[in-house]
Amino acid sequence: MIGNMSNVRLEIAKMTDVVLDSSAILAVVLEEPGRDLVVGRLFQAQTCSVNITEVVTKMLDRGVAIFDVEETVSELCGQIIDFDRDLAIQAGLLRDATRHKGLSLGDRACLALAMRERLPIMTADRAWADLDLGVEVVFIR
């Protein structure tokens, strides 16, 4: 299910900064379509701690052992950014602008981080299409 993590590490290449949504990380972990677009960006990317929680939850739901979850997160996640006071407020303020798309707290946390850092987001979540929040959204599939 997790695949060969040593091969993933070998594929990592330098890239420009980006924020990864949990769906992008899960595409790598679960070897889903779009994985190849994300692999080269893992270690230089930022991910909100809320999104890491989503990744861990999905892995556990799929039966991945706790030890493997911790190891995978350590191996695959570049900069994990704390969900601090400013991100919490911004994510809350995004509720009205994203309600019509059904975006979750994790989605809004990711958006808030990208807005603050002025970075594009990589996601597999097509619900983000047509959001007009001043953030570039790159779809991996």
The 3-class SS string of 76-132 reads HCCEEECCCHHHHHHHHHCHHHHHHHCCCHHHHHHHHHHHHHCCCEEECCHHHCCCC
Query: How many C-beta neighbours within 10 Å does residue 45 have?
Result: 23
pLDDT truncated to tens, each residue of the chain (141 aa)? 555 554 544 343 344 589 999 999 999 999 999 999 999 888 889 999 999 999 999 999 999 999 999 999 988 888 999 999 999 999 999 999 999 999 999 999 999 999 999 999 999 999 999 999 999 999 999
pLDDT of residue 43: 84
**Domain spans of the chain, in order of start:** 5-121
Q: Which two structure tokens, joined as six digits, stand for 40?
A: 């080269």
User: Which CATH fold would you assign to the domain 5-121?
Assistant: Rossmann fold (3.40.50)
> 71 exposed, middle or buried (CB, 10 Å; 0-12, 13-18, 19+)?
middle
pTM: 0.85
pLDDT of residue 14: 41
pLDDT of residue 44: 87
